[in-house]
Structure 1
Amino acid sequence: MRALHRNRPRSRLPLPGGPLVVNRRRLVWQIYPSYLLVIILVIVAVSWYFSGELRSFHYQQTLNDLKARALLIKHQLQSPFGSSDQRQLNRFIKQLGEQSETRITLIRQNGTVLADSHQRAEQMDNHSQRPEILQALAGQQGSSVRFSNTLGQQLMYVAIPVHIDNRPAGTIRTALPVSDIDATLHDIHWQLLLAGLVIAVLLAPACWLLSRHLSRPLELMTAGAQRFARGDLDTPLKVTGSEETGRLAIAMNQMALDLNQRITREIEQRSESEAILGCMIEGIVAVDNNQQVLRLNRAAATLFGVSPHLCVGQPIQEVIREAELQNFIRQALNQPKPREQELILHGPQRRYLHAQGTPLTGTNGEPIGVLIVLHDRTRLRQLESVRRDFVANVSHELKTPITAIRGAVETLIDDDSADAASRRFLQIIFKQSERLNALVEDLLDLSRIEQGGTEGSWPLTPEPLAPVLENARLTCESLAAKTGIQIELSCPADLKAQIHPSLLEQAVENLLTNAIKYSDPSSKVILQGEKTEGQVMIRVRDFGCGISKDHQTRLFERFYRVDMARSRQLGGTGLGLAIVKHVVQSHHGDVAVDSAPGEGSTFTILLPQG
């Protein structure tokens, strides 16, 4: 029986859809290498940890030793930084270094070398910027491990401050080579590796026996599962092996008993799904690949004035006589990804719909149609229209008094009889009236752009992109020149897109203005236009303060500011990016931001290609 079990083919699995060739490995050959790998990883981890701790121990011992030697030298020297006999001091330091096999250096407070046991002091550089000296000059014990250009090897340095009459006079530095420690640790690494390999080889047979013990009950379980697949549900599996395999056998036996209950439950769930679809306020339309209706819920039938039962199997063109929706369904059928679009139904009453198209797939993953979800946004559009009209009317009515206030304030400022205090308050009034006027202008622009985008009154034509970007750059050039910022433009001359030139130019100007305001002086702003994956991309990049992830999701909202104080100081209204967003939406495009604090920001506009 074992021979037959081992020799039977393992490359084919009988399935309802036909034979499927699958490259499989036996469970024992999956468990056995895993055990060996775990053992090797544990050995490597233990070796790495042990060697790291050993290195840290030796380095700490060397550090303590150098500190003790430095303190001993400090007590042996008699006013070394005030000594007038330089030659005697050099001989003394050299003798101490030879006796202790330590490099000893005396360094004045200004960083110049007073004496060194291995080099003439006058030939050595100023040491004030050495890391251990910087710490010692700050009144602390300094230490570092680095390469010595004087001795040509890796050294560990320890420096301690020296005080004379409670005043810092200089530094005593001791050093020892760490190359011997590194060589010893390298040898230990190889010894640990060899020991790990020996342990892995000794444990390999035990791993094999354990793997075989775990896989054998599962092989018996597989034979029983194949009987169930052939329809033999009367012969239950034997409950043998470990607790886990026993539970698996019990579960598979219970599976045969639960089969009828699952079928009944599936029918009930289908009925519940029908009831849920019937109660949804969103319209649901399911269409197959031949554009015939598969399912139509009650909300969709009411929306289009048809009967849900009579529509099934009928062409969508006969059921729903709306050209925009038919075109949306055709586009959704021709692409594998979900699709969204705003639709307008032109009937006795204009209705605004938000359509979402999701591909429908069969049991084998093949596309069988598309599911259309329709959200009626007519009421929301009406409320948005009321809001836009209100904002536009209020903004327009505010322009006249603001203009009068600015004129009166300018007249008073020009009056020479006004004193300094009055003139200062008049300047504040004039500045705030300028800010209020800019806010009103932005509100009017935003309302105009929203109105045009909703009603589709902005004509989009294939136009070259380079002149639009160049005009935006020239408009912002004077603002950039005030802080010495350069605007670099790169765009192919033949690049075209479906755009409204003046509207898109305003959006690019807003992005450039933001980039200039939040960039460091004498930096640069990059403006690029290029083609990518069937779209036209406009990118504005700065190297300023950047924006954290917490703010990026709300960056294009009206009046949202990352830094309120800085935005007001720079004169922003909080509507610039909101205008950019609505301009891009009017072009059927998308806008995104990629930024991190301290790394600058990149704003990207994606437009359909002309």
Structure 2
Amino acid sequence: MPRKKILWRLFPSYLIITFFILITVGWLGQNTIRKAWLAETRESLRSRLELFGSFTADHVAAGQYAVVDSLCKEIGRRSATRFTMILPSGKVVGDSRENPSDMDNHSNRPEVQDALTSGAGVSIRYSNTVYYTLMYLAQPLRQNGANIGVIRAAVSIESINDAINGIRIRMALGLLIITALVAMVSLYFSRKISRPIEELRDAAARFARGELSSRIHLKDSEEIEALAMAMNEMAASISERLSTITRQRNEREAILASMVEGVLAVDNDEKIISMNQAAAQLVGVDLNRALGKTVPEVIRNHDLNLAVKTSLASPQPIERDVYIAGASEQFLQAHGATLRDANGNIIGALIVLNDVTRIRKLETMRRDFVANVSHELRTPLTTIQGFVETLLDGALKNPEEAERFLRIIEKQVERLNALIADLLSLSRLEDESQRASLELDEVDLKEMLADCLQACEIKAKERNVGLLLDCPENMKIFANAPLLEQAVVNLIDNAIKYSESNSQVIVATNENSSAYQISVSDHGCGIETEHLSRIFERFYRIDKGRSRA
């Protein structure tokens, strides 16, 4: 059922109430007027009856009915009243209009019966004799205390009915006019009442759309004004709270977005309710698609799923390692704790993910570095120790053997010095302050590369490997010549070491818009893919059994 506006609830109500009041007042008014007129007519008839009775009483008692009939007609004509003389038996002996002998017995007339029993009788009815409505008033006629007959007077009340009908017409016209006036007044006041309510409704709709800066200005009544002020205060309060919530949300989102740690919040059903971009990148999911879905649906990782379940089940904070396989493996550290509402009820869990891949790789590099350096140091030290023990066991007595052993010890000591020198050079290169103090000079690149090839020429001939230089003339660069030469010699030395016999090692240069590129290429066995990311680690060796010769 369609709902009506308050205007169309108030206006018809006012109109209907007013209409019924006017109808009731008009009906009561015309009835009162009619009763008053009938009462006045009744009193007038009583006076006429008394006068008529005084003229006819003696004649009735003497039985002079012809005289009585004559008086009825004479007095009735003069007073415009119909008089009827009726004997106690009901016989009519005189009438102002008709011949008594032609009239019926009137003993059954209600006004006659009431007059005989109670002393007076009144009746209003349609007369079959004169053919219009009459008011009849009957009274007993007495003489010397004896009831000698009933006198009745009647007058037409058609004039009263005509007057009442005229009043009814005038009242109907007045009713229509008053109803129209009341309708206009009711419509005005209905609009006056409904308009502020409609404005309040429109204002509430604006508030619901978020237009909290608008205000209501209504002063129609104390109640409406108080309601408008209350709604304005509500809008201001909501606006302030929304601003606070928005500011806090933006601050929280800014904090989460700027965090390098991944933050993941889930509810008790493991549905993701919040996730920052760092967490999405760490676990490799789309942030927008992940929200609202369960963790197992989005993240197919057993370690992380187990961390979420453990966080929800454990009242204490938890810590767990998460391994993510892929093209680039990742190691994450998950810290989990339960989320609680203001009442202390558990509503979910918060997981913070720290990317410890670099730390783990550094730890692996440190272990490998220590192992490699230990291996590099152990080999010459073992050799030195062995020959020293041999000398102490009596080899000193043989000068030739002692000299040969000492030469070997000297070579191993030089090897240790070279290794220590490499470590010191590496330390200087990794030190930012030392790196900034390196002296850079203009270097002829082709000349420097030719010197590098010359330094490796003897080893290349031993392995029957050809060396080829592809570098244009007059290519000048600014560099630290000793360090650059050492790096290139190391590359050429490795290329020779792992090249097949009768192959070539090519040293080439290439110039682009921002730098010079030096490449050393060979036709050896190559490096497996799994080692490519670690070839520049300090002392990292693919063949763990090899040592620096």
Category of TM-score, reference length = shorter chain: 0.3 to 0.5
Give me the TM-score of the superposition, normalised by structure 1.
0.35
Max Rg structure:
2
Please give the TM-score of this superposition, normalised by the length of structure 2. 0.39
